Amino acid sequence: MSSELIAVTLALSSALMFAFTFTLVRVGVKTASSETALWVTLAINVVFLWGWSLVGYGWQFGDWWQWRYFFIAGIFAPLLGRLFQFLGMAKLGSNITTPLTLTHPVVTLVLAMAFLGETLTLLGLFGAVLVIIGSVFVGSQGGKNQTASLKAVPKSYLLLPMVASLSYGISMVFRKIGIDIGTDAVTAAAVTTTSSWLFASIYTGVSSGFRKIRCTTNEFGFFILAGIFSSLGPVLLYFSLQYADLVIVAPLASTTPLFVLLMSYLFLRADEIFTTKVVMGTIATVLGVMMVTMYGIA
């Protein structure tokens, strides 16, 4: 199997792991807040990934400086990305926020080409654009009843999902820079999630939000499962970045909405989920993945 095909498989597997995470939280969480879901799953990420890192790779922090890119990446995402995404959902609703947030691979592609010197063939670039468009179309499905009218809210609120998109895109660039140094994927993921958890804890403490960190025993069980899957997601992502350029991996890793859609149909029995927009988005995503796989390398 070629290194490019391995990267494609790992990137799509990463997207699948995050889809399991979102589905588990959606199915199992009834009363817990989104802040609780974020903080608890990040805490589980920290415990799970550091345990894996120390058992599998031992202590690797004689030189702390080599891990700086992952620490910075963790500040941008999941921390700032999810924070502004949640704020956007609260102000605009998910049906406006999600598609705008899912444009983050565009940010990553531009930054990777401008600052990392990466390139794509013309057909590969077209495939990447198809994946992004398809993900935006699929991601816009759902949450229609929660969507605010743009006429009724300040246009400045649109900055919230745009900042989320920018944060996710920048985080991917720092992750690629860090992984190219030669660090292992598991410890890299542990550092990234620790950074996010640390700043999330500071933010929660300052805003007196720890009083809101509450969940039932049943919900905590779902959080544990979600935390395990969301731990595997970044590890697989880092492995994929070891095999291919960021311009290849980033669009493929953004296919999570397609997997979430399929899981929603299978496990949540969502009605009328396959709208025209969703079908078009699914076809675009699949065709884009195929084109990136076959024509992506310049």
Residue at token pair 């492995």: 239
Residue at token pair 């495939």: 127
pLDDT in tens, 169-179: 999 999 999 99
Q: What is the pTM of this model?
A: 0.89
- For the segment 267-276, the average pLDDT, to the nearest whole number, is 64
pLDDT at 147: 56
The C-alpha atoms of residue 284 and residue 128 are separated, in whole angstroms, by 10
Contacts of 121 (CB under 8 A, 6+ apart): 295, 296, 297, 298
Residue at token pair 């290194």: 3
Confidence at 274, pLDDT banded by 50, 70, 90: low
Given a cut of 60, whether residue 36 has pLDDT beyond it is: yes
The C-alpha atoms of residue 161 and residue 159 are separated, in whole angstroms, by 6
Domain spans of the chain? 3-295
- For the segment 128-155, the average pLDDT, to the nearest whole number, is 75
- For the segment 138-157, the average pLDDT, to the nearest whole number, is 67
Confidence at 270, pLDDT banded by 50, 70, 90: low
